[in-house]
Structure 1
């Protein structure tokens, strides 16, 4: 989501071990200034922090304004093709400053509809990710790709087991 905790905790480790990573960013939440750190609140990375993390961190889209709930349901499920297309294109436009090759989308809350898949394709995304758990296989629909979840509670053996499945 572009949370400041990525910069605070993950980036130093990535830097130490010379790893690259991809962050799916809610582009409307990118900040110019950083509020005081509060670990109990969601806080988002500043533009300056993104610049510092380049080129190790690849920024991709997690939409612009569609990462919200309406009556406990992801708002993307209620939007028209036109609304989603405008949002996706705006996200690409904002992220272009940091990555002129925004090609991937993570659906908000992993939720999508056939219209969302169509909007993703029309906006120019090459891949889109759901939150369905599993590995991606050759021939899978590129606009509803699965993920493998690695949690902070997972030990080394659990991580290796998840990756081997």
Structure 2
């Protein structure tokens, strides 16, 4: 299936085709596609008259970008000092048991992806995770599994 670039054009127009807006453009692309598809990066490169390598460089330098598809529900498990000390590795194990994926992976149906991050800035809630910008704290493996089950069942707010 060949991709149409109408949405990419909307994003480029929104940012006035300005090279200095590259990060904002990529953030909008990431939000729309849940990653930075290679063909879209090449399209943007032509539109902005930039080498594709420069755009891929930005896409790989900043951690909020991904060149691989992310799930509809993107799970970020904190492994900063406070969360690590409070058992964040057991949360990752619970996610692996529930979804059969490890950090950096996505489920076959593209419903869930999980990543381990250095710090979410929610130390008082340790151990913590974020799912699509919603913070979940004071977690146990059982709570994590319950949250994921609720999301699987389609509940918007799993807390």
Q: Same fold (TM over 0.5)?
A: no
Q: Which has the larger radius of gyration?
A: 2
Q: Going by fraction, where is helix more abundant, 1 or 2? A: 2
The normalised TM-score by structure 2 is: 0.31
